[in-house]
Amino acid sequence: MSTTKRALGSILGTVALIATLGAAPADADHAQPPGPVHAGSEYGWGRAPVNYTFIGSLDRSQWKVSRQGKVGNQHGMLTLLAGRHGTVRATEQTRGRAVGRWETRIRHRQYVHRNTPYRVLIELVPAGDRKGYCGARNVALASYTPGVNKAGHYIRTRPDNRFVARKGLNLSDNQWHTFAVEVTRERISWFVDSHVVSTEKRKDALSGVPFAVRYTMEAEPGKRMNESRIQMDWLRYWTLKNPDTKSTAAPRPERKTYRDGCAGRG
């Protein structure tokens, strides 16, 4: 193929990717529409005092994005678009909450499958200007690679603690899932599609840091990535005011070591 044709193909691919933020009918883009059942409804958390529904233009006072033009709203969904290179992030701008319940509904799509897939991360990270120590204080509601059909979740605390578990899951394109985490002063519980899957009570897993939500499509440095997107139908936060109406007993994650921490802000 000539250089001119390759360049044209690249331009057309980029245009097609950006066009997914365009003006198709809202209902046409909601294949397998999300239903009302999720951890918040199943465990009696009540009305969420913080409820992002992503209607209208993205509020830049609420969300900080890593790459302009790659993050926006599409038909009431927070949408992150990723091309052939580069990580894309959207981070909630908040003073942070140290305890509570967070839940989100998400789907992904890969536009090509011949290159390296992005890693999808839904995390709680230290809010504001608090030090992150290169991820050493993060909590993941979900960490997965599209098509692998297994989603992980974890919590990391200083200096090098890592508690991690995984769950088999259908991670096909456009498949909706809900991921949630409940953080109290005594334990952390994770939920997938309205079911508790892990509960951790060891003191080393409880950092007490105020958190913000961060969505990431993480690229591998130097690799050509699959053009992809993730879309969040909603994000909700509940306090611990209402007790759980079901047991949160579940297997505890495996304890490991986090070796990528650092002394700086990170």
Name the residue with higher pLDDT: 33 or 103: 103
The predicted structure's pLDDT at residue 59? 86
The reply to whether omega before 159 is within 30° of 0 (cis) is yes
pLDDT of 110 over the 80 cut: yes
* Confidence band for 264, pLDDT divided at 50, 70 and 90: confident
Q: What average pLDDT does range 218-225 have in this prediction?
A: 96
| Residue 224 confidence (pLDDT) above 60 | yes
Q: Which residues contact 264 (CB under 8 A, 6 or more apart)?
A: 131, 133, 134
Mean pLDDT of the chain: 88
- When pLDDT is cut at 50, 70 and 90, the band that residue 2 belongs to is very low
Cβ-proximal residues to 139 (8 Å cutoff; 6+ apart), any chain: 123, 124, 154, 155, 156, 181, 183, 188, 211
Overall pTM > 0.95: no
Q: Is the pLDDT of residue 62 over 70?
A: yes
- Cβ partners under 8 Å of residue 146, min gap 6: 108, 110, 117, 118, 120, 171, 173, 226, 228
Q: Could you tell me if 168 and 100 are in contact, meaning their C-beta atoms sit under 8 angstroms apart?
A: no
C-alpha dihedral sign at 54, 239, 192, 212: positive
Q: Strand 228-238 vs strand 50-52: parallel, antiparallel, or unpaired?
A: antiparallel
pLDDT of the residue at 6:
44
- Looking at residues 167-174, what average pLDDT do you find? 93
- pLDDT per residue over 211-220, tens digit each? 999 999 999 9
At residue 29, what are phi and psi to the nearest 5 degrees? -95, 0
- Model confidence at 67, pLDDT cuts 50, 70, 90, reads confident
- The DSSP string of 106-125 is EEEEES--SSBPPEEEEEEE
| Residue with the larger pLDDT of the pair 3 and 85 | 85
Q: What is the pLDDT of residues 7-58, one digit of tens each?
A: 334 434 444 444 545 433 333 343 454 567 899 999 999 999 999 999 877 8
d(CA 123, CA 125): 6
Can you give the length of the chain in residues? Answer: 266
The single-letter DSSP state of residue 225 is B
Q: Is 194 left (phi over 0), alpha (psi -120 to 50) or beta?
A: left
Of 61 and 14, more confident: 61
**188 pLDDT exceeds 90?**
yes
